[in-house]
Amino acid sequence: MARSKPHVSETPATQFLRQQGVAFTEHVYDYVEHGGTAESSRQLGVPEHEVIKTLVMQDDKAQPLIVLMHGDKQVSTKNLARAIGAKSVEPCKPEVAQRHSGYLVGGTSPFGTKKAMPVYVEASVLALPRICINGGRRGYLVGIAPALLTQLLQAQPVQCAID
């Protein structure tokens, strides 16, 4: 039987989702360096607003955290810091983010991270009917129900999006 899409081997993210009994769709695209969610949404024909980026950041005490944001929005680090009770929040350097998550930048999933980190999700993401989020590899997204972010990751809703 012919496959309509290339087979994607398991990642820590897909292993985690399967262990939790989560049904998800797989979306493979050609990864483009610095293409971001604009590139994946264009190739997959999915609105960029529904492609959720996984950002590894750190607070003023250098404690790592994950922020899940719409692909077409930016994170206001000032609003995020205020929402989580930190003095400040900033993105981690790529090598630091990689150390915390266990994933290559551009292929970071909030599922199956190497280190347990608090997860924050832009509140409006949870209102979407379905989202595409990184499946743990560059060029690979999984489609899931947004409610799974709060159920599986205990993601805390925050309002920190800027256009």
Position 9 scores a pLDDT of 80
CATH number of 12-162: 3.90.960.10
For 77-123, how does the pLDDT look when each residue is reduced to its tens digit (9 = 90+)?
999 999 999 999 999 999 999 999 999 999 999 999 999 999 999 99
Domain boundaries, the chain: 12-162
User: How many Cα atoms occupy the beta-carbon half-sphere of 61 within 13 Å?
Assistant: 5
Position 1 scores a pLDDT of 41
Structure pTM?
0.94
For 114-133, how does the pLDDT look when each residue is reduced to its tens digit (9 = 90+)?
999 999 999 999 999 999 99
Count helices and strands (H / E) in the chain.
Answer: 5, 10
**Contact by Cβ (8 Å): 66, 117:** yes
**Residue 29 amino acid letter:** Y
